[in-house]
Chains A and B, each alone.
Chain A
């Protein structure tokens, strides 16, 4: 499975990652090699095998619907890059 420049740029866009123009060929090579490794999976027939999502096949545990968290907005926003009036600031989204 060989990925080309367009593939790498498309994947990087989907993942919202800026990749330097100059390093795209290296990503293409390494990602292609990784996909070759991964393609070994296709050598085995799994048509009747149930996928395993959780090693212990556990199900979601439920608890009573009580309020257990305090409001820690100010405390938690101390680590935010940009905050005003309790809101996270980001570049303008709506013109």
Chain B
């Protein structure tokens, strides 16, 4: 019963092939047996999972099951989960047992889903490789010498290794799409505001967005049906109707207009990656789509703009970690300032400290116009590029990442090199647009992701576009050797 998609598992539960308790136990056993290779979980919530699975089986027996009832999933350890340690991958929150549930957790619980555990991640979601986690890096099941991507690397590794059929992630600059690409998964970063941020530990509040990571677009649609919607507890959540994301998955793509940005497919792109992207686009042409070249001239500026805006917001958000109300506190503080400084110096890892310092510097007296205001102006230009292009085409396609998964340790010595990894994903967060990554081929035994970008609140269209590709190809069904 393992190695199935959420939709297949839902069918198995419906037809009584197995119970949620049996399914959950099978996953828990596999996690216990296999996860030392991948380090994809920070906390396995065995007791909670079995309690939820038992309740789900009772709900089903009473005839009240819905599409998510009894399905086990994993949650990124950035979503506060009542009674469970919620660490955000940081020593700062290693002792933090959340007193409340994030809205996303509450939604999945209410839908009857089963929580297998909390997945590994870059500390406070700051990273593109999962190497900044306090709990050690997670590893890519396709090749354990390589990173699974980040920051939702544990979620990606767990699904790719068959330790969870699906998981939640968050995406501030590519943290759902890039690990999905590196691990041959389907990941969706929704429009800013589509999924509630309440209880999702904040990194950069104007960019953060939660979303699904799964094996198929169909599964991602099932999860979006649970996650999306207005939340009075998040003042930035969008007050817009939520469609049934599974309803139009099969709609034909005849006449779909695809834009290929020349900046995403420049001569600098790894030629093997470019070949796979062009082959995927050809597949779409066979499905009835038309393709035109488009231009997003400010793409390159998304890196510097992001690395001002995100650290600036992070320096403010992470000021809450002061050793007073929750989390780590240093031993024997001499005075208040000593307590703040040592708590934060000892509790945060190097990359988090670096970003807090960049943000603090950018917001310090006299630098605001040169850095923060300038970055927000560039953000406007990036958004205008997208708005212009998306008035001409339905979706934009290109690579999710410049290369397939790199090796552990390959980029840790130079943060700037690591930041360049995000060049194709950052611009969407700055503009607030939705985007997906879906599998579109293999390069030297490692997966390659096709990125699909749509207009504001066009998640339904994106899932349709991704699903039709997955009906016509089988890249998404490939599994690492031995699975």
Same complex origin of A and B: yes
Q: Which residues of A does B touch, CB under 8 Å?
A: 8, 11-20, 23, 27, 30-31, 33-42, 44, 46, 49-56, 58, 60-61, 63, 72, 75-76, 78-82, 88, 90-93
Contact B345 A52 (CB under 8 A): no
Q: A11-B364, A51-B373, A52-B380 are in contact. Are A82 and B239 (CB under 8 A)?
A: no
Query: Which B-chain residue is minimally distant from A38 (CB atoms)?
Result: B304
CA distance A38 to B192 in the complex (A): 24
Contact A80 B206 (CB under 8 A): no
**Cβ of A7 to closest chain B Cβ, rounded Å:** 8
Q: A82-B329, A92-B335 are in contact. Are A34 and B232 (CB under 8 A)?
A: no
Contact B326 A90 (CB under 8 A): no
- Can you list, as one digit per residue, whether each of B430-457 has a CB less than 8 Å from chain A (1) or not (0)? 1111000000000000000000000010
Q: Which residues of B does A touch, CB under 8 Å?
A: 96-99, 192-193, 206, 232, 235-236, 238-239, 298, 300-301, 303-305, 307-308, 315, 319, 322-329, 333-342, 344-346, 348, 350, 353-354, 356-358, 360-362, 364, 370-371, 373-381, 383, 414-416, 419, 430-433, 456
CA distance A42 to B334 in the complex (A): 43
Contact B338 A91 (CB under 8 A): yes
**A contact residues around B344 at 8 Å (CB):** 15-18
Contact A18 B341 (CB under 8 A): yes
CA distance A91 to B433 in the complex (A): 46
**B contact residues around A54 at 8 Å (CB):** 206, 236, 432
Can you report 15 A-B residue pairs in the complex whose CB atoms are below 8 A from each other? A15-B315, A17-B348, A17-B357, A18-B341, A30-B414, A33-B416, A35-B361, A38-B304, A41-B301, A46-B378, A52-B377, A55-B383, A81-B327, A91-B335, A93-B335
Contact B431 A55 (CB under 8 A): yes
CA distance A51 to B345 in the complex (A): 33
**A contact residues around B305 at 8 Å (CB):** 41
Contact B301 A27 (CB under 8 A): no
CA distance A63 to B239 in the complex (A): 13
CA distance A78 to B328 in the complex (A): 14
**A contact residues around B340 at 8 Å (CB):** 16
Contact B315 A91 (CB under 8 A): no
**A contact residues around B373 at 8 Å (CB):** 51
Contact B239 A61 (CB under 8 A): yes
CA distance A41 to B193 in the complex (A): 27
Top 3 A-B pairs ranked by shortest CB distance? A55-B432, A18-B345, A51-B376
Contact B301 A56 (CB under 8 A): no
Identify the interface centre among B206, B304, B378: most chain A CB within 10 Å of its CB. Answer: B304
Contact partner of A34 (CB less than 8 A), chosen from B307, B374, B383, is B307
Q: A31-B354, A80-B326 are in contact. Are A61 and B379 (CB under 8 A)?
A: no
CA distance A76 to B326 in the complex (A): 9
**Cβ of A80 to closest chain B Cβ, rounded Å:** 5
**Cβ of B295 to closest chain A Cβ, rounded Å:** 15
**B contact residues around A16 at 8 Å (CB):** 319, 322, 337, 340-341, 344
**B contact residues around A88 at 8 Å (CB):** 324-325
**Cβ of B336 to closest chain A Cβ, rounded Å:** 5
Other contacts beyond A19-B345, A79-B96: 11, CB < 8 A: A11-B364, A15-B315, A27-B354, A37-B419, A51-B373, A53-B206, A55-B430, A58-B193, A72-B99, A81-B329, A82-B329
CA distance A25 to B161 in the complex (A): 40
CA distance A40 to B375 in the complex (A): 11
**Cβ of A32 to closest chain B Cβ, rounded Å:** 10
CA distance A76 to B80 in the complex (A): 13
CA distance A60 to B416 in the complex (A): 35
CA distance A82 to B322 in the complex (A): 13
**Cβ of A26 to closest chain B Cβ, rounded Å:** 9
Contact A53 B456 (CB under 8 A): no
Contact partner of A49 (CB less than 8 A), chosen from B322, B350, B380, is B380
CA distance A11 to B322 in the complex (A): 17
Identify the interface centre among A14, A55, A76: most chain B CB within 10 Å of its CB. Answer: A55
Q: A16-B344, A19-B353 are in contact. Are A11 and B360 (CB under 8 A)?
A: yes
**Cβ of A15 to closest chain B Cβ, rounded Å:** 4
**A contact residues around B416 at 8 Å (CB):** 33-34, 36-37
